[in-house]
């Protein structure tokens, strides 16, 4: 096992300790980024440390005051952690508005967690036409001012270019890592893959990219590996840890993914022309196959079919988070397309606060027998 890979996995498993270490080493204040597509380049250019806020396993006791039990477990966990003081080291949190639950968190956060400032960030849902592009540029400018007020530092053109280049490097290396993981599924099993990518949300991106480059170089020098089953996984994220253990135990590797916490973050290339903000805006305009943006002719099914063919996968595994309405609305559309293409589908309803994995264990074992 590669030592630096073990380090990334450890950091991915221990978010708070990793964030505190990154804050100390970089001298940056930390800003929490709710899912998904927060413009982290602007945060970084302002001299701040962007931190992923993706919930986690915890007992929900305080969050019930603000979020009903039928809300997404990720957002309930975020609210719980905020109210318990887990996020007190953050100078602010940036909350997006893709769904009703995120909007509820955005409104309730100032009352539930008054000591951590909330910064709303709302992309245009319908990205067709020049008005959506221009609006995105405007919200980038406004967001820059918000970050400057938190850090007390000016976002210069030079700092913005440096941050953009760093994040482009992170995206390229992350894409390379997922490709190498597909050919090294024993070394990079489903759990290792997840935590190695997850570490990027808690580390300084500069430090993370340096370490990921080492991992990639080491993997390139290793012979290819094989496991029995290969799948493409889609959904919000593949957690909790016990859920990933089931795939490792059944010799199932993730050879490609359409996960909001993983490849959706770095799979869309930017256009070469324009200013930094124009390139960032075009990335959002060009993003396809994501349930959180309006897309008249939904392309997610076709994209998953292509991913299966390109990776020679045996099936698609759907990690559908309970009570995530946008994901639930998408499922019947791409399910029909995958079935028409003759691709096996394993639908798994999960949440972060799951106590038992036995039902999922049975379903996954049965599916491997069918394959």
pLDDT digits 0-9 by tens, 49-64: 999 999 998 999 999 9
- d(Cα 60, Cα 321) in Å, to the nearest integer? 17
Cβ(23)–Cβ(29) below 8 Å = yes
Q: Classify residue 60: in a domain, yes or no.
A: yes
Cβ(360)–Cβ(111) below 8 Å = no
In this prediction, what percent of the chain has a pLDDT beyond 90? 91
pLDDT for residue 2: 81
In this prediction, what percent of the chain has a pLDDT beyond 70? 100
In the structure, what pLDDT confidence band is assigned to residue 1 with cuts at 50, 70 and 90?
A: low
CA 115 to chain centre: 26
pLDDT digits 0-9 by tens, 253-286: 999 999 999 999 999 999 999 999 999 999 999 9
The rounded radius of gyration (Å) of the Cα atoms in the chain is 20
Mean pLDDT of the chain: 95
Q: Classify residue 35: in a domain, yes or no.
A: yes
pLDDT exceeds cutoff 60 at 235: yes
Q: Classify residue 143: in a domain, yes or no.
A: yes
Q: Classify residue 69: in a domain, yes or no.
A: yes
Q: Which domain holds residue 75?
A: 22-153
Q: Classify residue 97: in a domain, yes or no.
A: yes
pLDDT exceeds cutoff 90 at 361: yes
- d(Cα 264, Cα 260) in Å, to the nearest integer? 5
Cβ(168)–Cβ(225) below 8 Å = no
pLDDT exceeds cutoff 60 at 345: yes
**Beta pairing class for 229-235 and 252-259:** parallel
Q: Classify residue 171: in a domain, yes or no.
A: no
Q: Classify residue 146: in a domain, yes or no.
A: yes
Write down how long the chain is. 371
3-state secondary structure of 252: strand
pLDDT digits 0-9 by tens, 74-90: 999 999 999 999 999 99
User: Domain of 119: which CATH number?
Assistant: 3.40.50.11890
Neighbours of 136 (CB within 10 A): 21
End-to-end CA distance of the chain: 29
pLDDT exceeds cutoff 60 at 46: yes
Place of tokens 């589908």: 345
Which residues pair with residue 229 across a beta bridge?
252
pTM of the predicted structure, to 2 decimals = 0.95
* 145-149: long-range contacts, CB 8 A cutoff, minimum separation 24: 146/119, 147/31, 147/42, 147/43, 147/45, 147/46, 147/48, 148/46
Phi, psi of 45 (to 5 degrees): -65, -25
Region 163-172: what's the mean pLDDT? 98
pLDDT for residue 129: 84
- d(Cα 88, Cα 75) in Å, to the nearest integer? 17
Q: Classify residue 213: in a domain, yes or no.
A: no
pLDDT digits 0-9 by tens, 278-337: 999 999 999 999 999 998 889 999 999 999 999 999 999 999 998 898 899 999 999 999
Cβ(292)–Cβ(327) below 8 Å = no
Cβ(140)–Cβ(42) below 8 Å = yes
pLDDT for residue 15: 95
Number of domains in the chain: 1
Cβ(216)–Cβ(176) below 8 Å = yes
pLDDT for residue 356: 84
């Amino acid at each position: 096992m590669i030592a630096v890979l073990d380090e990334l996995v450890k950091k991915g498993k221990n978010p708070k300790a990793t964030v505190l270490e990154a804050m100390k080493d970089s001298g940056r204040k930390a800003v929490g980024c709710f899912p998904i597509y927060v413009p982290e380049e602007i945060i970084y250019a302002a001299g701040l440390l962007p931190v992923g806020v993706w919930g986690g396993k915890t007992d929900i006791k305080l969050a019930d005051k603000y979020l009903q039990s039928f809300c997404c477990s990720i957002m309930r966990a975020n609210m719980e952690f905020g109210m318990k003081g887990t996020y007190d080291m953050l100078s602010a949190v940036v909350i997006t508005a893709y769904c009703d639950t995120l909007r509820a968190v955005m409104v309730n956060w100032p009352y539930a967690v008054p000591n951590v400032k909330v910064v709303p960030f709302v992309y245009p849902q319908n990205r067709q036409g020049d008005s959506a592009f221009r609006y995105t540029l405007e919200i980038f400018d406004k967001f820059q001012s918000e970050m400057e007020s938190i850090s007390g530092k000016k976002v210069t053109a030079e700092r913005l270019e440096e941050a953009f280049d760093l994040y482009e490097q992170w995206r390229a290396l992350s894409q390379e890592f997922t490709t190498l993981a597909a050919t090294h599924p024993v070394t990079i099993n489903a759990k290792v893959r997840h935590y190695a990518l997850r570490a990027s949300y808690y580390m300084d991106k500069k430090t993370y990219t340096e370490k990921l480059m080492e991992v990639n170089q080491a993997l390139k020098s290793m012979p290819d590996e094989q496991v029995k089953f290969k799948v493409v996984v889609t959904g919000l994220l593949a957690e909790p840890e016990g859920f990933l253990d089931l795939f490792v135990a059944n010799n199932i590797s993730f050879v490609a993914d359409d996960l909001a916490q993983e490849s959706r973050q770095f799979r869309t290339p930017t256009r070469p022309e324009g200013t930094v903000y124009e390139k960032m805006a075009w990335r959002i305009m060009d993003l396809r196959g994501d349930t959180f943006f309006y897309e008249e002719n939904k392309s997610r099914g076709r994209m998953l079919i292509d991913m299966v063919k390109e990776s020679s996968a045996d099936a698609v595994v759907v990690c559908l988070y309970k009570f995530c309405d946008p994901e639930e609305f998408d499922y019947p559309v791409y399910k029909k397309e995958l079935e028409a293409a003759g691709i096996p589908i394993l639908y798994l309803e999960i949440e972060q606060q799951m106590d038992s994995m036995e039902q999922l264990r049975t379903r996954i074992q049965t599916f491997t027998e069918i394959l």
